[in-house]
Amino acid sequence: MRFDRLPIAVLRTRYVPGGWDVLAFALVFVFLIYCAQAAHGLTGSLARLQATPISLDPWALIGYSARTALRMVLAMVASLIFTFTYATLAARSRRAEVILVPLLDFLQSVPILGFSFTILFFLQLTPGRVAGAELAAIFLIFTSQAWNMAFSFYHSLRSIPDEMVEAARNFQLSPWMRFWRLEVPFAMPALIWNMMMSMSGGWFFLVFSEAITVGHTTVSLPGVGSYIALAIEQKNLAAIGWAIAAMFVVILLFDQLLFRPLNASADWFRLDQEAGFTTSRSWALTMMRRSRFLRLVSEGFAALLRLGMKPRSTHGAPPAGAAQVWRARWVDYAWYTLLIVVGIGAVWRIARFVLEEVPPAEIVRVLLYGLFTLLRVAVLIALASLIWVPIGVWVGLRPRVASVVQPIAQFLAAFPANLFFPLVVSAIVLLKLTPDVWLSPLMILGTQWYILFNVIVGASAIAPDLRYAGENLGVRGWLWWRRIALPAVFPFYVTGAITASGGSWNASVNAEVAAWGTETVRAHGLGAYIADSTAAGDFQRNVLGIMVLSLLVVILNRVFWRPLYARAERKFRIS
């Protein structure tokens, strides 16, 4: 009997012998043992750890990969908690949205090196112990994952169809119950795809997360990132090849044990299920559904979620009177005034800090560097859109193709730009190429996939009725793209383009300075300025570069991306 064709309700309640419980228990047990060993190592001496050099022996990559994977998982858990709290507050509260969304724009634009000063804070939390350095590495990985997921969840909450919101209101769902019964399931397909991209973003900036240098403070934690940094320093191509192989194995394990089961589960939360729709399959999800051990764990988790899930009172809230409306308006005025005062105070403190060491003429030069980087980002996003939007629509309309493309794109997105330094630096030096031009493609390597993944999600969400209507009416060619495909994926594309744009600014720090052994090439741009000031421990110039970069990103988002998304939300929203 084919159990994979049974209804989900049967698979959830029926125990099927055959070793699934043994396999599930073994996987959980091994993971818990490794977590316990890692936790025990946190109390070790940091000086002793730093005295042990990173080894380029391929066998050492087994332990390094395990430690890197554990940091990735912990950072992903922290990113999910941040996403569910931060994005939900921004979507539900108009007053909170005024400050949280621009702040998210700012945080997304801050390069990972801009957070490297936190290593000093974490090291002070546990003086002389490994725990502080591990917390710093996990936090830096978190900064490369959380913002994209928060943006995706926020935009999904803003896009919930009106009839579903009205149904939740009619059923008197409490905010807690509405969150788990409506908002999370609705956002799940897009969130899972963006979780994949966030995991790849963590890999992309892994070298900076595990091999941290701030001024005279250097911390190298055992991991794939430190391994890659040492291989680049020693110009060891064989070691880089082994690092790529290790990354491929770890990403494949994440795909099989985490993302493919999540993606298969998300099929049950899609709004439209056409006849003959084939859900994604995953052996790991089958194991989880057939395992009695994991079923007990999931039932305990579900019981925790049901705590406090009591319907609201059936008595409707009294209509707001004129006095209440007037009072709410004054609260808004006071809130906005407070935000303006705090913003002015923060700008004044930053300006005083920077101007202590940086002359005004250099500020003008940094602004010009920012315009150079802005030009690169604009050109690269336009080229990536022309390439990946048509491909994303084609893949999204074919679920089986999407299941094949997903791990490949995830692996390509995870490639740190550092791995291309040997080829790029050697070509620039030997052929005497211009670094300002030929270093630019490194900025888009890890961020173009945000466009592809979001367009795939948007294309897969096109209602079957709309597709069938287009087929029956003979809508083809450019007319089909203009009337069906592009309007359907436009909100998803804008979300991906906003994230890709912010990620490209972030990646400029990693891409505008390329080193291979003793050879170093630089492009003129804001990323190179920030990288150099961080390496020198010049906090004033580092802050200046980050502030200029963040200012340009926020202005670009406010002037261009946000109005574009508002139009997409207003004109092309699912309803």
CATH label of the domain that carries residue 567: 1.10.3720.10
b/e sequence 163-197, b meaning 16+ C-beta within 10 Å: eeeeebeeeebeeebbbebbbbebbbbbbbbbbbb
| Residue 380 and residue 443 in contact, taking contact as beta carbons nearer than 8 Å | yes
How far apart, in whole angstroms, are the C-alpha atoms of residue 450 and residue 493? 9
| Residue 551 and residue 461 in contact, taking contact as beta carbons nearer than 8 Å | no
Q: What is the pLDDT of residue 5?
A: 44
Q: Considering its fold, how many domains does the chain have in total?
A: 2
Q: Is the pLDDT of residue 8 over 60?
A: no
Nearest to 524 by CA among 440, 460, 444: 440
> 100-109, 364-373, 377-386: lowest mean pLDDT where?
100-109
State mean pLDDT over 278-306: 70
Tokens of 555: 């202005």
How far apart, in whole angstroms, are the C-alpha atoms of residue 237 and residue 477? 47
424: amino acid identity, one letter? V
Q: What is the pLDDT of residue 16?
A: 43
Report pLDDT digits (tens) over 14-28: 444 445 566 665 666
Residue 37's pLDDT band, with cuts at 50, 70 and 90, is low
Report pLDDT digits (tens) over 253-277: 888 888 888 877 776 766 655 544 4
Q: What is the mean pLDDT of the chain?
A: 77
In a domain, 318, yes or no: no
How far apart, in whole angstroms, are the C-alpha atoms of residue 151 and residue 378? 20
How far apart, in whole angstroms, are the C-alpha atoms of residue 74 and residue 339? 33
Do residue 259 and residue 285 come from a single domain?
A: no
Do residue 37 and residue 157 come from a single domain?
A: no
Q: What is the pLDDT of residue 78?
A: 93
In a domain, 315, yes or no: no
Do residue 400 and residue 286 come from a single domain?
A: no
Report pLDDT digits (tens) over 46-92: 777 777 788 888 888 888 888 888 888 899 999 999 999 999 998 88
Do residue 123 and residue 219 come from a single domain?
A: yes
Task: Find the farthest-apart pair of alpha carbons in the chain and give their distance in angstroms, rounded.
Answer: 77
Do residue 182 and residue 244 come from a single domain?
A: yes
Do residue 186 and residue 284 come from a single domain?
A: no
Do residue 451 and residue 512 come from a single domain?
A: yes
Do residue 5 and residue 136 come from a single domain?
A: no
Q: For 214, list phi and psi in degrees, rounded to 5.
A: -130, 105
In a domain, 256, yes or no: yes
Do residue 301 and residue 351 come from a single domain?
A: no
Cα radius of gyration (the chain): 25
In a domain, 430, yes or no: yes
Do residue 404 and residue 260 come from a single domain?
A: yes
How far apart, in whole angstroms, are the C-alpha atoms of residue 71 and residue 82? 16
Percent above pLDDT 70 for the chain: 78
Do residue 363 and residue 477 come from a single domain?
A: yes
Report pLDDT digits (tens) over 536-560: 777 788 788 888 888 888 788 888 8
C-alpha distances in Å from residue 76, one per residue of 145, 149, 454: 7, 10, 19
In a domain, 327, yes or no: no
To the question of pTM greater than 0.95 for the whole model, the response is no
In a domain, 273, yes or no: no
Q: What is the pLDDT of residue 439?
A: 80
In a domain, 325, yes or no: no
Structural domain boundaries, residue 23? 1-41+279-309
Do residue 293 and residue 393 come from a single domain?
A: no
Say which residue, 72 or 114, is predicted with more confidence: 72
In the chain, % helix, strand, coil (3-state, to 5) comes to: 75, 5, 20
Q: What is the pLDDT of residue 187?
A: 87
Q: Is the pLDDT of residue 309 over 60?
A: no
CA 244, distance to chain mean position in Å, is: 21
What lies within 8 Å, CB to CB, of 203 at 6+ separation is: 72, 247, 251, 413, 414, 415, 416
> 116-120, 455-459, 487-491: lowest mean pLDDT where?
116-120
